[in-house]
């Protein structure tokens, strides 16, 4: 390892005293950082530094023999390319940043578990592609047109978070303006700003509706803010209404309560519905958290689940199978989501945009509807 430095010296164009300098530093107690560089490999392999770089990056203008020799030596010396130098020179960090947005909920809440669940699939996907993944949590209100790309920290961003879309919009426009590459999880439609990946919420909503209707339910309530602020919820609602219309049922707006994804707000919404004295025999909640809160309210009001009211959620959180009764819900394609998000972003970075597409969702029937 000592003579690694010799290589450096030999390669160093000017400072011929480097070696001695280094020894001095060493004797003074400062670690000489004998981390090998591509120069060291080059010296040992009897080639130039650029050849080492080319060999290790798989350039085809290096003979197989040379490449093999270089790789062998690199392994021996435990060499690994300096990420910073490489990124600086190539202007490509091979890193993407994952930004979570916390919702503005009453308490100082945690991140939506649904997105945490996506984390696994995203990291795996990044690992497969040799990408590093930076993560960060942001408050919706924060100034997060962050400098991730500005500062060459990351080549692109993945944005995750339910949240008021209209708040989102201006930031997205900024990102586009400054040329930042990003993909967002959300409602997929024509006039989205930037690339979006999302579930087929309409289809999933219809699925939910058909399930409930198939069980003989006729007056289906909906919990979730179904407007332009929360387009995903809106789509789920419209899917539900479509199913009802097809069955000749009325999708009564009076049975809808706006709420965002939070257990306590789901509870409140359901209380409100109960107190309205309107009749309903099923509830489709726009998220499991809402559904869980709603079930609490129903139980508190003495309504049997699913005897009096069938309850459905959305997301299939781990918790959904543990509630009492276990919650019927819609499972989104988490694995597909992670893959598609990363794939889309990489395509964007490489300047060959992918067409947008939605992911399918599956109904998971449990006792909150089946009894």
**Binding-site ranges for DNA (CB under 7 A):** 12-15, 18, 33, 35, 37-39, 42, 46-51, 53-54, 56-57, 60-66, 79, 81-82, 85-86, 88-91
Q: Name the minimum Å distance from CB 68 to its own copies.
A: 21
All residues at 6 or more sequence positions from 335 whose CB lies less than 8 Å from its CB, including other chains? 121
Q: Which of 292, 309, 345, 361 binds its own copies (CB under 8 A)?
A: 292
HSE of 318 in the Cβ direction (CA atoms, 13 Å)? 6
Task: Tell me if 227 sits within 8 A of 234, measured CB to CB.
Answer: yes
Q: Name the minimum Å distance from CB 179 to its own copies.
A: 8
CA 288/CA 368 separation, integer angstroms: 12
311 DSSP β-pair partners: 283
The binder of 57, among DNA, its own copies, none, by C-beta within 5 to 8 A per type, is DNA
Q: Which of 11, 32, 35, 251 binds its own copies (CB under 8 A)?
A: 35
Is the CB of 33 or the CB of 61 nearer to its own copies?
Answer: 33
The binder of 117, among DNA, its own copies, none, by C-beta within 5 to 8 A per type, is its own copies
Is the CB of 244 or the CB of 292 nearer to its own copies?
Answer: 292
| Peptide bond just before 306 cis, omega within 30 deg | yes
Q: With contacts defined by CB under 8 A, how many residues of the chain interact with its own copies?
A: 44
Task: Tell me if 327 sits within 8 A of 321, measured CB to CB.
Answer: yes
CA 255/CA 284 separation, integer angstroms: 10
The first and second tokens of residue 171, run together, are 């930031």
Q: Does 324 bind its own copies (CB under 8 A)?
A: yes
The binder of 249, among DNA, its own copies, none, by C-beta within 5 to 8 A per type, is none
Q: Name the minimum Å distance from CB 30 to DNA.
A: 10
In the numeric block, the tokens 């692109």 are attached to: 156
Q: Name the minimum Å distance from CB 344 to its own copies.
A: 20
Is the CB of 86 or the CB of 104 nearer to DNA?
Answer: 86
Q: Does 322 bind its own copies (CB under 8 A)?
A: yes
- Could you give the C-alpha distances from 33 to 8, 81, 83, in angstroms and in order? 13, 15, 16
CA 73/CA 208 separation, integer angstroms: 60
Is the CB of 39 or the CB of 284 nearer to DNA?
Answer: 39
Q: What is the Cα Rg of the chain in Å?
A: 28
Task: Tell me if 287 sits within 8 A of 314, measured CB to CB.
Answer: yes
Residues lying near its own copies in the complex (CB under 8 A):
31, 33, 35, 78, 80-85, 87-88, 91, 93, 95, 110-111, 113, 116-117, 119-120, 123-124, 127, 132-137, 147, 150-153, 178-179, 292, 318-319, 322-324
């Amino acid at each position: 390892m000592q003579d690694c430095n010799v290589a450096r010296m030999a390669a160093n164009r000017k400072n011929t005293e480097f070696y001695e300098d280094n020894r001095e530093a060493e004797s003074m107690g400062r670690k000489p950082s004998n981390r090998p560089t591509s120069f060291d490999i080059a010296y040992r392999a009897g080639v130039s530094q650029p050849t080492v770089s080319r060999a290790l990056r798989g350039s085809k203008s290096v003979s197989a023999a040379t490449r093999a020799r270089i790789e062998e030596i690199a392994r021996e010396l435990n060499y690994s390319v300096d990420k910073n130098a490489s990124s600086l020179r190539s202007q490509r960090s091979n890193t993407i940043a994952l930004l979570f947005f916390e919702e503005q909920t009453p308490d100082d809440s945690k991140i939506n578990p649904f997105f945490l669940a996506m984390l696994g699939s995203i990291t795996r996907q990044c690992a497969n592609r040799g990408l590093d993944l930076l993560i960060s949590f942001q408050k919706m209100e924060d100034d997060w047109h962050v400098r991730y790309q500005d500062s060459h920290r990351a080549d692109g961003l993945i944005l995750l978070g339910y949240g008021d879309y209209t708040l989102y919009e201006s930031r997205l426009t900024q990102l586009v303006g400054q040329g930042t590459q990003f993909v967002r999880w959300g409602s997929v439609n024509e006039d989205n700003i930037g690339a979006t990946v999302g579930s087929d919420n309409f289809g999933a909503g219809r699925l939910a509706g058909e399930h409930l209707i198939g069980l003989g339910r006729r007056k289906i309530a909906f919990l979730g803010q179904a407007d332009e602020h929360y387009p995903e919820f809106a789509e789920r609602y419209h899917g539900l209404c479509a199913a009802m219309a097809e069955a000749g049922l009325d999708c009564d707006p009076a049975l809808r309560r706006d709420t965002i994804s939070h257990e306590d707000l789901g509870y409140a919404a359901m209380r409100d519905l109960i107190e309205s004295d309107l009749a309903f025999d099923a509830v489709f909640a726009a998220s499991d958290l809402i559904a869980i809160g709603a079930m609490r309210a129903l139980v508190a009001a003495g309504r049997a689940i699913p005897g009096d009211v069938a309850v459905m959620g959305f997301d299939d959180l781990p918790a959904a199978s543990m509630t009492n009764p276990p919650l019927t819900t819609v499972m989104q394609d988490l694995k597909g989501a992670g893959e598609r998000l990363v794939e889309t972003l990489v395509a964007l970075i490489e300047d060959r945009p992918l067409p947008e597409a939605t992911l399918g969702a599956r109904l998971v029937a449990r006792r909150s509807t089946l009894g």
